[in-house]
Amino acid sequence: MKFIDEAKITIQSGDGGSGCVSFRREKFIPRGGPDGGDGGKGGDVILKSSSRKRTLYDFRYKRHLKAKNGAGGKGKRKAGKKGDDIVIEVPAGTVIIDSETGQTLKDFVTPGETFVAATGGRGGQGNYHFKTATRRIPRFAQPGEPGQTIQLKLELKLIADVGLIGLPNAGKSTLISKISAAKPKIGSYPFTTLVPNLGVVYTDWGEPFVVADIPGLIEGAHEGAGLGTQFLRHIERTRILVHLIDVATLEPENILSSYITVNHELEKHSQELSTREQLLVLNKMDTQGSKEKAGLFMKAIGDMEVLSISALKGTDIDTLLSRILSRLERK
């Protein structure tokens, strides 16, 4: 299934049913009077977050969703049937935005939340309600109110404890495949990962946590370069960031360039992201010259904690997981 994390849909709640114009007609009751019933209320459009949904793929082709109209009233003061609601399931992590105003209407954080996005129209009153001392034979009833039509923008932001960030080929996919059951595509070329991957990490010394492998960022990503801002939003919900750096590509004369590039893109996308706690990890320590470059990097970065691992070989992975757990426990 293709990963779809953005969609635009039009929702429409049901119209209210019209009130009924009716008069009581029974034997021996020649002037029974008005007895028209009320129309039924139109159905609501309800959004519900569900753990069964992982993408917004369902809305790729189905973009107009409408609830049922209420039925008209009947004689003998019988009310019309209420229109059926329509319940639209979305993945947890979906943000509902009014397309016209840009206002955020609902942010689904956990499964099972519901939100009435459009309320059905009220049913009209039957002519029974309009009988007065001077108007004994009302030959009119109230029409039902129309439903609401709203254009919505849906944005999915993955919910994870840890976000893996870094330039393309930093080794994020390899790392998540080593520490979880996730099986992302892995290759030796840029943008191997074209969709975010989620993995659950289990250890013997702490609670399980969820890791998101975010596709590689490059310079200018916040303006659309590379994979652009398509997946930057998925970092927003993470509690901490693990910044993976390919030590093999570091240039001694500009040792912090990759670190600076990624953080610049985070800052341009969101000021809050630029202050998110990061754990710096130098990867591919199994490559030639890695120790010398790692030493230069640590000297240039100053007092920040830096871990050194080899995701491919599995070297010092337990140390990394232990550091991640300790930071999550402080949150």
Residues 133 and 221 in one domain: no
Which residue, among 162, 148, 240, has the nearest Cα to 196 in the 3D structure? 162
Residues 146 and 184 in one domain: no
- Which strands make up the sheet holding 197-201, listed edge to edge? 197-201, 209-213, 162-165, 240-246, 278-283, 306-308
Which residue, among 171, 159, 304, 307, has the nearest Cα to 238 in the 3D structure? 159
Residues 171 and 82 in one domain: no
CATH number at residue 275: 3.40.50.300
Q: Which residue has the higher pLDDT, 74 or 4?
A: 74
Domain stops at, among 156, 177, 200: 156
8 A C-beta contact, residue 209 and residue 203 = no
| Spatial separation of the C-alpha atoms in residues 247 and 286, rounded to whole Å | 10
Plot region of 163 (φ>0 → left; ψ -120 to 50 → alpha; else → beta): beta
Residues 136 and 11 in one domain: yes
Instruction: Name the pTM for this structure.
Output: 0.73
Q: Quick one: pLDDT band at residue 203, thresholds 50, 70, 90?
A: confident
Residues 249 and 213 in one domain: yes
Burial class (CB in 10 A: 0-12, 13-18, 19+), 110: exposed
Residues 102 and 250 in one domain: no
Domain stops at, among 132, 156, 180: 156
Quick one: the chain helix, strand, coil %, rounded to 5?
20, 25, 55
pLDDT at 30 over 80: no
At 248-285, the pLDDT tens digits run 999 999 999 999 988 988 888 888 888 889 999 999 99
Q: What pLDDT is recorded for position 324?
A: 95
Residues 236 and 302 in one domain: yes
Burial class (CB in 10 A: 0-12, 13-18, 19+), 77: middle
Residues 152 and 169 in one domain: no
Residues 288 and 166 in one domain: yes
Domain stops at, among 103, 128, 156: 156
Rg, the chain, Cα only:
29
Q: Quick one: pLDDT band at residue 184, thresholds 50, 70, 90?
A: low
CATH number at residue 81: 2.70.210.12
Q: What pLDDT is recorded for position 221?
A: 42
At 39-77, the pLDDT tens digits run 999 999 999 999 888 889 889 888 999 999 999 999 999
Residues 178 and 324 in one domain: yes
Domain range for 230? 162-330
Residue 48 β-bridge partners: 89, 114
| Spatial separation of the C-alpha atoms in residues 234 and 196, rounded to whole Å | 8
Residues 215 and 324 in one domain: yes
Q: What pLDDT is recorded for position 157?
A: 87
**Amino acid code (one letter) for 58:** D
266 SS3 class: helix
74-99 mean pLDDT: 95
| Spatial separation of the C-alpha atoms in residues 36 and 22, rounded to whole Å | 4
**Amino acid code (one letter) for 49:** S
8 A C-beta contact, residue 116 and residue 87 = no
| Spatial separation of the C-alpha atoms in residues 32 and 331, rounded to whole Å | 72
Which residue, among 322, 300, 299, has the nearest Cα to 309 in the 3D structure? 322
| Spatial separation of the C-alpha atoms in residues 294 and 255, rounded to whole Å | 9
Q: Where are the alpha helices (DSSP H) in the chain?
A: 172-179, 257-269, 271-274, 290-301, 317-330
Domain total of the chain: 2
At 224-247, the pLDDT tens digits run 444 445 667 778 888 999 999 999
Residues 144 and 168 in one domain: no
pLDDT at 223 over 60: no
Distances (CA, A) of 331 to 54, 162, 324: 26, 12, 11
pLDDT at 113 over 80: yes
pLDDT at 215 over 50: yes
